[in-house]
């Protein structure tokens, strides 16, 4: 490859009247975000290398039947399995909002595709493989390269990053890049629910990261902690085998399901004989607990001398959830926010990063970025959101996504996309078993349905 020095010389290329900067960029991860980031960076003329620890593209969507040696995910020495995908998973957003702007996630009947508007997870992997091949991005990926260290070559110099990796045969090597775009995914490092008696409770405990199939729960009494998208989805799946499923959560959920499923307040404590006592005073004897209590942002390879930190699940400080002001634009993060149309988010953020690196879009000064971050934290606090919700969007509906759209000079997001998102979100948190199959997605795209979507939380 070209040396960094070479790239310094070739960095400024005149395109018309505008000086366009071309940088040598490392993208960490070849999941959906890394693929679209690589595509956008290359479109802007940057030199891109994608590092992927696995053997294929797709990240989360590469189903792996194995589970980790510590299924609760606490042992730091465990071998990490990247994907949290379970076997029966169907997408929770419909096809029209799970593609890229110029590369839609259309059904491809006749080639064994699952044509449903909410297909099984295999269809998404096929889609991403197609995208990687058709965009040429797959050729930029170094597979079997796990990034183990990202650090500035010289302290105080922000455009020289050492990227160190290890290959499968244990060989370590490093290379210097001007820019690093972190796309390592946010659904791998489990967060466990805590309650008194948890560690001495004798039943089986796993985190949803290690949930694959209902079979191990045959005829068992299972408690599921959390009623987010995975809690509800896994509860339905486990119910296919289990005797009883008890959902413990702060908020109750609308049921359109019968038999075998019960709702509770959060767990108060666990007793050694297997009893679980809920905060409302009720109690039952339980065989297994599945913690669907979410994930932690985790960047074990990142050494920034405390410039960027993860604190109470807030990656801080980040200007617009992407750039640490002190290291911008050379270090960036894609797909940190959640509760949004994930493919759209990664595409918009990637395009923004690519154009900032090329100099077509200007960032505010470091001071202005820092005060913008502070203002944002104050807004979050003012509405009473805890710090760990910093990256949760939809405080105002699609204001963040539309801000990115504005930066990029694109037309405002179509209303139907937003309505479709909110309605899907309601669907997946209401236990409506048939909703995904009875919903006329096509009609929505034509704007014949509207308004939709009640809650945004």
Determine if 267 is a binding residue for ligand FAD (CB under 6 A). no
**Half-sphere exposure (CA, 13 Å, Cβ side) for 191?**
12
CB 19 → ligand FAD: shortest distance, Å? 31
Choose one: 70-78, 89-97, 107-115, 354-362; the region binding ligand FAD (CB under 6 A): 89-97
Q: Which of 53, 95, 351, 436 binds ligand FAD (CB under 6 A)?
A: 53
Q: Are 138 and 131 in contact (CB under 8 A)?
A: no
Which backbone phi and psi does 279 adopt, to 5 degrees?
-65, -25
Q: Is the CB of 82 or the CB of 246 nearer to ligand FAD?
A: 82
Quick one: the chain helix, strand, coil %, rounded to 5?
A: 30, 25, 50
Determine if 418 is a binding residue for ligand FAD (CB under 6 A). no
Q: Which of 51, 319, 323, 421 binds ligand FAD (CB under 6 A)?
A: 51
Token code pair at residue 234: 């896994």
Determine if 235 is a binding residue for ligand FAD (CB under 6 A). no
- Which CA distances in Å does 154 have to 160, 254, 290? 7, 55, 45
Q: Which of 93, 248, 327, 369 binds ligand FAD (CB under 6 A)?
A: 93
The CB density around residue 194, as the number of other CB atoms within 10 Å, is: 10
Gap between the Cα atoms of 256 and 430, Å rounded: 7
- Interface of this chain with ligand FAD, residues 155 to 214, rule: CB under 6 A: 183-185, 187
CB 423 → ligand FAD: shortest distance, Å? 14
Determine if 349 is a binding residue for ligand FAD (CB under 6 A). no
Q: Is the CB of 49 or the CB of 369 nearer to ligand FAD?
A: 49
Determine if 32 is a binding residue for ligand FAD (CB under 6 A). yes
The CB density around residue 126, as the number of other CB atoms within 10 Å, is: 19
CB 417 → ligand FAD: shortest distance, Å? 12
Q: Is the CB of 146 or the CB of 456 nearer to ligand FAD?
A: 146
Q: Which of 22, 24, 27, 33 binds ligand FAD (CB under 6 A)?
A: 33
- Residues touching ligand FAD, count (CB under 6 A): 33
The CB density around residue 448, as the number of other CB atoms within 10 Å, is: 10
Q: Which residue has the tokens 């060989």?
A: 171
One DSSP character per residue, 61-79 reads GS------SSTTS--TTSP
Q: Are 288 and 205 in contact (CB under 8 A)?
A: yes
CB 276 → ligand FAD: shortest distance, Å? 25
Residues lying near ligand FAD in the complex (CB under 6 A): 28-34, 51-54, 59-61, 82, 84-85, 89, 91-93, 98, 146-147, 183-185, 187, 230, 301, 335, 342-343
């Amino acid at each position: 490859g070209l040396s960094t020095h070479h790239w310094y010389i070739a960095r400024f290329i005149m395109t018309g009247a505008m000086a366009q900067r071309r940088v040598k960029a490392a993208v960490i991860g070849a999941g959906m975000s890394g693929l679209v980031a690589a595509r956008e960076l290359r479109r802007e003329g940057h030199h891109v290398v994608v590092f992927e620890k696995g053997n294929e593209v797709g990240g989360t969507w590469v189903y792996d039947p194995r589970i980790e040696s510590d299924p609760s995910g606490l042992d730091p020495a465990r071998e990490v399995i990247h994907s949290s995908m379970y076997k029966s998973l169907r997408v929770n957003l419909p096809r029209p909002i799970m593609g890229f702007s110029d590369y839609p996630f259309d059904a491809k009947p006749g080639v064994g595709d699952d044509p449903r508007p909410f297909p099984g997870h295999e269809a998404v992997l096929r889609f991403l493989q197609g995208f990687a091949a058709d965009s040429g991005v797959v050729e930029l990926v170094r597979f079997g390269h796990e990034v183990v260290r990202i650090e500035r070559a010289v302290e105080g110099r922000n455009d020289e990053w050492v990227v160190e990796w290890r290959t499968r045969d244990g060989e370590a090597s490093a290379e210097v890049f001007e820019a690093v775009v972190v796309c390592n995914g946010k659904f791998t490092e489990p967060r466990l629910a805590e309650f008194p008696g948890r560690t001495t409770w004798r039943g089986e405990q796993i985190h949803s990261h290690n949930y694959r199939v209902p079979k191990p729960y045959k005829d068992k009494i299972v408690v599921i902690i959390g009623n987010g998208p995975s809690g509800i989805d896994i509860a339905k799946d486990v119910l296919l085998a289990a005797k009883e499923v008890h959902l413990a959560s702060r908020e109750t959920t609308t049921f359109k399901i019968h038999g075998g499923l019960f709702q509770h307040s959060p767990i108060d404590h666990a007793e050694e004989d297997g009893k679980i006592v809920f905060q409302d005073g009720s109690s039952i004897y339980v065989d297994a607990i599945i913690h669907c209590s979410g994930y932690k942002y985790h960047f074990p390879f990142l050494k920034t001398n405390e410039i960027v930190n993860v604190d109470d699940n807030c990656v801080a400080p980040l200007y617009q959830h992407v750039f640490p002001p002190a290291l911008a634009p050379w270090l960036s993060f894609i797909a940190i926010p959640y509760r949004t149309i994930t493919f759209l988010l990664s595409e918009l953020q990637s395009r923004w990063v690519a154009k900032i690196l090329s100099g077509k879009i200007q960032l505010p000064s470091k001071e202005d970025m820092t005060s913008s971050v502070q203002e944002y934290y104050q807004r979050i606090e003012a509405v009473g959101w805890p710090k760990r919700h910093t990256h949760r969007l939809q405080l105002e509906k699609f204001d963040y996504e539309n801000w990115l759209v504005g930066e990029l000079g694109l037309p405002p997001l179509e209303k139907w996309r937003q309505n479709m998102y909110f309605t899907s979100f309601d669907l997946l948190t209401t236990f409506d078993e048939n909703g995904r199959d009875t919903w006329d997605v096509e009609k929505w795209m034509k704007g014949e349905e509207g308004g939709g979507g009640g809650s945004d939380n």
